[in-house]
């Protein structure tokens, strides 16, 4: 039996950007917490933010990338006071979800 040619799976750029943004916030916090090295978490946060920003720029242009990057940074900053009210992990997951939703919405609208 001959093997069928593999059909490449195309992941929507909106999903890549949303996943990178949410993953950067969650992963950055997780790395910082578990390694007890905040700068290492910051590296993960920045790297994922750069991946997301590149996708945002490709999909929606510079204005979209700047706006969503600002939302990413604001979510990171906003998670700190929110954590005092609801706890660290719930705060991180809340802001990650908010940024992913904003990213998905804006990039889907820009692409379509």
Least confident of 5-14, 39-48, 57-66, 86-95: 5-14
Which pLDDT belongs to residue 64? 95
Which pLDDT belongs to residue 13? 73
Residue 91 — pLDDT band, cuts 50, 70, 90?
very high
Which pLDDT belongs to residue 54? 95
Using a CB cutoff of 8 Å and minimum separation of 24, what contacts does 62-70 make?
A: 64/106, 64/107, 64/110, 67/106, 68/17, 68/21, 68/99, 68/102, 68/103, 68/106, 68/107
Which pLDDT belongs to residue 6? 75
Whether residue 108 is predicted with pLDDT greater than 90 in this model: the reply is no
Q: Which strand (E) or helix (H) includes residue 52? A: helix 38-60
Which pLDDT belongs to residue 8? 81
| Chain mean pLDDT for the chain | 92
What is the rounded distance in angstroms from the CA atom of residue 67 to the CA atom of residue 83? 24
């Amino acid at each position: 039996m001959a093997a069928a040619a593999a059909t490449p799976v195309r992941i929507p750029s909106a999903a890549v950007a949303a996943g990178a943004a949410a993953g950067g916030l969650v992963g950055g916090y997780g790395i910082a917490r578990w390694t007890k090295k905040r700068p290492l978490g910051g590296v993960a946060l920045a790297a994922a933010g750069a991946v997301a920003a590149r996708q945002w720029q490709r999909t929606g242009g510079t204005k979209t990338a700047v706006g969503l990057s600002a939302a990413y940074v604001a979510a990171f900053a906003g998670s700190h006071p929110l954590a005092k009210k609801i706890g660290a992990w719930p705060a991180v997951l809340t802001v990650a979800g908010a940024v992913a939703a904003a990213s998905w919405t804006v990039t889907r609208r820009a692409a379509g």
